[in-house]
A and B are shown apart, each in its own frame.
Chain A
Amino acid sequence: MLAASAGVALARGMGQIDLRVPGSAPSARDGYGTDPDIIRTHAPGDFWPLTLTRAERRAVSALCDVIIPADDRSPSASALHVPDFIDEWISAPYAGHGADRTLVNAGLAWLDAESRRRYGSAFARATDAQRLELCEAMAPEAPPKSELELPSKFFRRVRNLTMVGFFTTPAGMKDLGYVGNVPLARFEGPPADLIARLGLADEVAW
């Protein structure tokens, strides 16, 4: 349910409003409830316990940093605490999150086993080149072979969660060029040179 909605809201505005998760399931008993304090800033672990083991956490951090390594514009995923978010996500008591928990646990087990089989060490202790090689195996351009279905599904899910976790942080938003969420005296609309470049000057009627 939750995974399926990831691709739904492709854009802002009504897209966001429409990001609904239909279903009449009752509230999870240990969730944040239907009237949480939405003014307060929350951190992973505030509402429900995190469940990744220390070893799993190391593997997730290493994997996140292959997916989003540091570059000249912003830090790596783990430096922005994305593994905390992934742990919060898979540990959440809501419907849909349980399936992600199962997938991530199984995927991490596969990853470590495969890393040990190939290189004799856990994924978190593998070299950068070895980690890249394993990611390449999980993320082939062509549809995966049947024995790689689980790793491929696992990789896509962690990749998506890493993106969500990363690009919602202040550094991630800045990286993308999101410059909103500030009060303005006037809404200026798009810059004139962009309008001209796309040949849209005639459309500016108000």
Chain B
Amino acid sequence: MAYITPASAKDPYDVIVIGSGAAGGQSAYTLTMEGARVLMLEAGRNYDPRSETPMFKTNDQAPLRSAGTPDKPFGYYDATIDGGWAVPGEPYTNASSERGRDFKWWRARMLGGRTNHWGRISLRNGPYDFKPRSRDGLGFDWPISYEDVAPYYDKVEMLIGVYGTNEGLENTPNSPEGVLLPPPKARIGELLARQRGRKLGIPVIPAHRALLSKALDHRGLPAKLHPGNAKAQRILTEDMQSRAACFWATDCGRGCAIRANYQSTTVHLPPAMATGNLDIVTDAMAREITVDASGKATGVAYIDRTTGTEHRARARVVVLAASACETVRLLLNSKSGAHPHGLGNSSGLVGKYIMDTVGASWGGQIPLLEGYPPHNEDGAGGLHVYTPWWLYKEQLAGKLGFARGYHVEFGTGRGMPGYGSYGDDSRGSTSYGRRLREEARRYYGSFVYFTGRGEMIPNEDSYCEIDPKVVDKWGIPVLRFHWKWSDHELRQVAHMQKTFADWIAEMGCTSPRRPGSDGSKVIEPGGSIIHEVGGTIMGADRAKSVTDAHSRTWDAPNVFVADGGVFASNADKNPTLTIMALAWRASDHILSEMRKGNL
């Protein structure tokens, strides 16, 4: 089994997985390693990070010094292929263009999806995050608790490799001893942020990111991950040996040719392919889940993007891992006699409660960091430290005016010079000649940049639906988005801004910009943090949710949602690690039900 064409599909399969990113990769991995025969459909092209990653390339070797363009919004070297805020021929629409009411949707059309370009920040949800309504009366509780998911967080961390430490902070869970890899040393600006943060009562601790700060323990881990499964252990042992440890160069956002970081294409798919149980069809745009008269799924109808022809594949189980909103689109476009309003939509809630992460940023120039001796600060590409939310008690006591927290990410140090590295436009300097040269050398690396990432509470006004008029180039109806922030998010952003301004001043910034108090002016647009989840939320009551506690749709017993669609809340913690943990958990349930003959 291997990469195949639609004509060579050997169906029926045990499971069809739609999507190849964090959710699809994890689902395919778990299912195939435990013996299930899986067909994966990926809408984009095949992609191999080993040969396609621009390792060590400098910005002067790229058009426009690698600055972002509509073709490559995050810069020329970003791993994203055929994606961005717009995908040619595949539009989406917004019901409103008003500021704060529109939604931006980042997509990628490539094997591995958006895992190829993300920041690799891998934070566990804590106990509060699964029961937010019980804590503050807002949003929804999940039908599962931290204890249900914790064993899967352990497994995912062991499989993909995550660096970090156990600090025992509130609602910031520890991992079991020996699971996390050692964190890289903090950069000089990160140490300064840590010192000055303490004066403000703000903790700074090692970040958790999915990349190998040292090689994985290929002797111990495979047996822990696949007890009693000799074949899976052998495959994983070999695969873990073929992943190199990070050599501290080349931003993770470009992908990783040595497979030191987590991408679905570096971690999940190679061992899954090695089982011989996985077939992958790329350029396969899923259009509809096909069902029988009882409403049970029979397979998937999809379009071969290279020819425009439609194909069908059959399976006992369908796993949706297309990303939260693409999964909504597919369910709503799967109308039948048994599911007249779309598959899974008897509650009318498919597409409802879309959440993104709340984002705002603030930066400043720090004289203390001017002109320090040159040393290599590339490190692990992204941040080495972060600040988990630290005001749980004050918040619960009602002292903050907003109900949910945020964490803080930092940008510091002397990264590879690129478009936007200098900050001159904002400083307003017009120097030239010798003075410019002196200033550039002095200021390079002396800027710090704080980024807040906060929890959004699901609301009735943030959702997506099928646009009644617009179709994509394959004739498939597209999504229309509705968006609205609540005061909780706007006040949260105002709090971020004030905190960051105070912090930057504490670090010695002599020319701080002071923030306003109106969060609506600085909040980043919905969707722009690329953490959109919800739309097929899980719950204990089928009238109030789309999926059950095992991520199975209430309406079709053999359809599962493995992506972020099932999130009933969107904690400030970046969602990818939780997506993988829940996908593994859902796959375990599928395997168990198959063995019992229930699927």
Contact = CB atoms under 8 A, between A and B. Distances in A.
A16 B249 contact: no
Interface residues of B, number: 107
A23 B85 contact: yes
B557 interface: no
B449 interface: yes
Contacts of B374: 177-179
A34 B81 contact: yes
A35 B188 contact: no
Interface of A: 2-28, 31-36, 38-39, 41-42, 44, 46-47, 66-69, 71, 73, 85, 88-89, 92, 94-95, 132, 135, 139-141, 152, 155-156, 159-160, 163-165, 167-170, 172-173, 175-191, 193-195, 198-200, 202-204, 206
Contact of B119 (A14, A186, A199): A14
A198 B528 CA distance: 37
Interface string B419-432: 11111111100111
Contact of A42 (B62, B84, B250, B444): B62
A160 B419 CA distance: 9
Interface of B: 45, 52, 54, 56-65, 67-77, 81-88, 104, 119, 165, 182-189, 191-192, 194-195, 206, 247-251, 253, 361, 363-365, 368, 372-383, 409-427, 430-434, 436-437, 440-441, 444-445, 447-449, 451, 525, 528
Q: Is the interface of A mostly helix, strand, loop or mixed?
A: loop
B79 to A, nearest CB: 9
Contact of B192 (A32, A92, A198): A198
Given A9-B449, A168-B417, A206-B183, A182 B70 contact: no
Nearest to A202: B195
B106 to A, nearest CB: 9
Contact of B249 (A4, A12, A152, A184): A184
A168 B58 contact: yes
B118 to A, nearest CB: 9
Contacts of B430: 139-141, 152, 155-156, 159
Nearest to A135: B432
User: Nearest 9 A-B pairs (CB), nearest first?
Assistant: A12-B415, A189-B185, A15-B411, A7-B426, A177-B374, A10-B447, A180-B378, A139-B430, A183-B247
Contact of B71 (A33, A177, A203): A33
B70 A94 contact: yes
A19 B525 CA distance: 14
A16 B425 contact: no
A8 B522 CA distance: 13
A175 to B, nearest CB: 7
A169 B417 CA distance: 9
Contact of A159 (B57, B185, B432): B432
Contacts of B376: 179-180, 182, 184, 187-188
Nearest to A16: B415
A16 B411 contact: yes
B58 to A, nearest CB: 7
Nearest to B369: A198
B71 A28 contact: yes
B262 to A, nearest CB: 16
B249 A182 contact: yes
Contact of A21 (B70, B186, B249, B253): B70
B52 A34 contact: no
A142 to B, nearest CB: 10
Given A167-B422, A202-B195, A181 B84 contact: no
Contacts of B192: 198, 200, 203
Contacts of B191: 190, 195, 198, 200, 203-204
24 contacts: A2-B68, A4-B425, A7-B420, A7-B426, A11-B412, A15-B415, A22-B104, A23-B86, A27-B70, A36-B71, A88-B64, A94-B70, A164-B419, A164-B421, A175-B441, A176-B441, A178-B416, A180-B416, A182-B249, A184-B247, A186-B248, A194-B373, A198-B188, A199-B195
Contact of B52 (A39, A47, A187, A195): A39
A167 B412 CA distance: 18
